[in-house]
Amino acid sequence: MPELPEVETVRRGLSALVVGQTITRVDVRLPRIVRFPSVDAFVSRLQGRQFKDIRRRGKYLLFDVEPYTLISHLRMEGQYRVVPEDEPKALHTHVVFGLANGMELRYRDVRQFGTMDVVAEGEPLPSGLVSLGPEPFDPNLTFQDLYSRIHRRMAPIKSVLLNQTVIAGLGNIYVDEALFLAGIHPLTGADKLRKTDCERLLQSIREVLTRAIDAGGSTIRTYADGYGRHGGFQMQLNVYGRAGEPCLGCGGEIEKIKLGGRGTHYCIHCQPRNGRKTRSKSMSAAASSEGFTP
């Protein structure tokens, strides 16, 4: 599933490609992608409108087409591409927005889990959007705030961080990577973390996300941006997808377990199960070797 860095990369690319363009037509090929309003009203609300801006909230894309907002959730494998209108449409292309410049904004979704809503001010927003926690880069989000959000939760810290009501935009890849940089075992109960742990954790979350955005996200399976380009952060991963390989920091083995049905990766030495370990010089060196200075 595209996480915050991938959705932010898509947002930036689409902003350059479609903001300022007028929607000349809308073709909904798979009606269930549209949740609100009806398909006919969806088309009517968008046709003839101009893309004014594209914003992101958590893993949602918000296209401003005044007086409406098109809210898009990519879910597992949703993709946007901007291509010439005469280019053959790829299989699983479900929604097409014709643009005044002769291009098309196409939404493709192999698994068909993505959703779209077009809402006016005062109309109900998708429940998942309403319940989102703060953005990781929100300057008002401090480690004390993070501590207050998690310290009464007895669930494993990884499960808590995946909860979008706690902090928005994090998914499996970047939670694993942030916990590694913070030296925190994914099974550690959230209620066991001290404020100093939360300070280190919030810093690690921001460091990982910044590096991932700079690299254009991670292409583990099918992710691509609006230009069709793949991300590059998968080449910088410290633990995710590296089960059985040596840790880049200490040389210990990367282990994989199942947690809440999700594959979870960690270093058996850098992230001790019983006890806390601050970021070691070797862990910092591993991060620096990938272009990041702690």
User: What is the CATH number for 246?
Assistant: 1.10.8.50
Helix (H) or strand (E) holding 16, with range, is helix 4-18
**Which residue of the set 12, 57, 153, 262 is catalytic?**
262
The percentage of the chain sitting over the pLDDT mark of 90, rounded to a whole number, equals 80
Please identify, among 130, 160, 191, the residue that sits at the C-terminal boundary of a domain: 130
Please indicate, yes or no, whether residues 154 and 119 belong to a single structural domain of this protein.
no
Same-domain status, 254 and 284: yes
Q: Is the pLDDT of residue 228 over 70?
A: no
Does some domain include residue 137? Answer: no
**Which pTM does this prediction carry?**
0.88
Residue of 11, 45, 49, 59 marked active site: 59
Q: Are residues 191 and 269 in the same domain?
A: yes
154 with 281, same domain: the answer is yes
In 3D space, the residue among 200, 186, 185 whose CA is nearest the CA of residue 158 turns out to be 186
Are residues 257 and 158 part of one domain? yes
The string of DSSP codes covering 250-290 is: T-PBEEEEEETTEEEEEETTTS-SSS--PPPHHHHHHHHHT
Domain span holding position 259 = 143-289
Note whether 160 and 179 are within 8 A (CB).
no
Model confidence pLDDT, tens digit, residues 45-66: 999 999 999 999 999 999 999 9
Same domain, yes or no, for 148 and 114?
no
Cα torsion at 117, 120, 125, 126 (round to 10°)? Answer: 0
Answer yes or no: 3 catalytic: yes
Per-residue model confidence as pLDDT tens digits over 73-110: 999 889 999 999 999 999 999 999 999 999 999 999 99
Owner of token pair 């994090």: 170
> Which of 27-36, 49-58, 233-242 shows the lowest per-residue confidence on average (mean pLDDT)?
233-242
Would you put residue 147 in left (φ > 0), alpha (ψ -120 to 50) or beta?
Answer: alpha
Which pLDDT score is estimated for 281? 39
Q: Which residue out of 3, 6, 177, 207 is catalytically annotated? A: 3
281 belongs to the catalytic site: no
In a domain, 276, yes or no: yes
Is pLDDT above 80 for 287?
Answer: no
pLDDT at residue number 226: 60
